[in-house]
Amino acid sequence: MMIKRKAIALLSGGLDSILSVRLMLDQGIPVTAVRFLTHFGCDPVSSGSCGRDVEPIVKMWGKDGLDVKMSHLGRDYIEMVKNPPHGRGKNMNPCIDCRIMMLSWGRELLDKYDAGFMITGEVLNQRPMSQNRQALQMIDRQLGLTGLILRPLSAKLLEPTLPEIEGVVDRARLLDISGRGRVRQYELARAYGIEEIPQPAGGCLLTDPGYSARLRDLWEHDPDAGATDVNLLRAGRHFRVSPQCKIIVGRDQQENDMLETLASPDDSVLRLSDHVGPVTVVRGEHDEEAVLRAAALTARYGDVPEDAPQAAVTVTRFGQTRTLVVAPARDEEFATLRVGVTA
């Protein structure tokens, strides 16, 4: 069988994945790159994300045979994160199963885009859990893709793949990078005229201890929580006030906007009437006591003057708005209720 001269790439937008694409384009091999999105931050708009905006690269290299498709892993990815068969890293990150899922979705695209093999920006021994030799071999085997996943940055240190064996890809022009160092990648980036070199990211939100604590808390209290609840974990300070109920207080305008967008009609949404301050969402089954606590927190984190004993807070639920007057919360009242503090 002759391997087709076209590759599917997994493109995070990080430097390694960009360079692996470039190495193929240099050999005249067209690349359809897939940019996977998840609810856990691997997207270009999320801080702390391992994903980056790939638009500049497409602009630069489209003429050389690169095109990019976006694909959201959606609910399937959430379910995998709940029960990853190969376990987790230090936090909630299931890196091996994440790679397996992305590669398996990528495999589906081989026929669709008439491609013969896949490439990734993985570097041997760069990540202890998912990028050691055994893990890479196991992933390829499990997917039935042995010989069809080429890792151009480390290829010379790995078994030759089918496109190399068949001469579709010139192995001599591939690389032998290993480990966590980035010196060679930076040299290559400069040589390729990549002006904005993406800095290495620690990974998606699942590698963040605070985010992971919020996610664990969510699934402990609501194992069937959907995408909206998961997305809410990205924003605000989270206070667990009862097994069924959380209060979420925005920390800046962007988070306030996000909370407003994600709030549902049966959430209570609170804002200060007379001062600048957070948007606060009370989510889950809740009573008046929870709303009063949320109002106190809203006043605590808003610009209420220190000499003002009370502040007015509006509460909107089911389209009805009313006003409460409360004293700002004291930190010690809520310290133990805070979940996953990162900032």
Instruction: Determine the interface stretch with ligand SF4 among 95-103, 146-154, 292-300, 301-309 (rule: CB under 6 A).
Output: 95-103
Instruction: Determine the interface stretch with ligand SF4 among 17-25, 59-67, 200-208, 315-323 (rule: CB under 6 A).
Output: 200-208
Judged by CB under 6 A, the chain residues 241 through 270 that form the site for ligand SF4 are: none
Residues 238, 236: Cα–Cα separation, whole Å:
6
Closer residue to ligand SF4 in complex, CB, 74/309: 74
Residues 12, 50: Cα–Cα separation, whole Å:
7
User: Strand, coil or helix: what is 20?
Assistant: helix
Provide Rg for the chain, Cα atoms: 24
Q: Count interface residues toward ligand SF4 (CB under 6 A).
A: 12
Instruction: Determine the interface stretch with ligand SF4 among 89-97, 229-237, 256-264, 286-294 (rule: CB under 6 A).
Output: 89-97
Pick from 207, 256, 280, 298: which binds ligand SF4 (CB under 6 A)?
Answer: 207
* Segment (H or E) for 100: helix 95-112
The pair of structure tokens assigned to 101 is 């899922």
Instruction: Determine the interface stretch with ligand SF4 among 72-80, 90-98, 155-163, 317-325 (rule: CB under 6 A).
Output: 90-98
Cα 306 from chain centroid?
Answer: 39
98 binds ligand SF4, rule: CB under 6 A:
yes
Residues 256, 35: Cα–Cα separation, whole Å:
28
280 binds ligand SF4, rule: CB under 6 A:
no
Closer residue to ligand SF4 in complex, CB, 139/162: 139
Judged by CB under 6 A, the chain residues 7 through 66 that form the site for ligand SF4 are: 42, 50
**Can you list the positions of beta strands (E) in 199-267?**
237-242, 245-249
Pick from 110, 136, 206, 279: which binds ligand SF4 (CB under 6 A)?
Answer: 206
Closer residue to ligand SF4 in complex, CB, 18/168: 18
Shortest Å, Cβ 98 to ligand SF4:
3
Residues 107, 101: Cα–Cα separation, whole Å:
10
93 binds ligand SF4, rule: CB under 6 A:
yes
The pair of structure tokens assigned to 130 is 């998912």
Q: Exposed e or buried b for every residue in 123-158, given b needs 16+ CB within 10 A?
A: bbebbebbbeeebbeebbebbebebbbbbbbbbbbb
Residues 175, 155: Cα–Cα separation, whole Å:
6
Q: Which amino acid is at 44?
A: P
131 binds ligand SF4, rule: CB under 6 A:
no
299 binds ligand SF4, rule: CB under 6 A:
no
DSSP 293: H
Q: Please report, as ranges, the residues that interact with ligand SF4 according to CB under 6 A.
A: 42, 50, 93-95, 98-99, 130, 203-204, 206-207
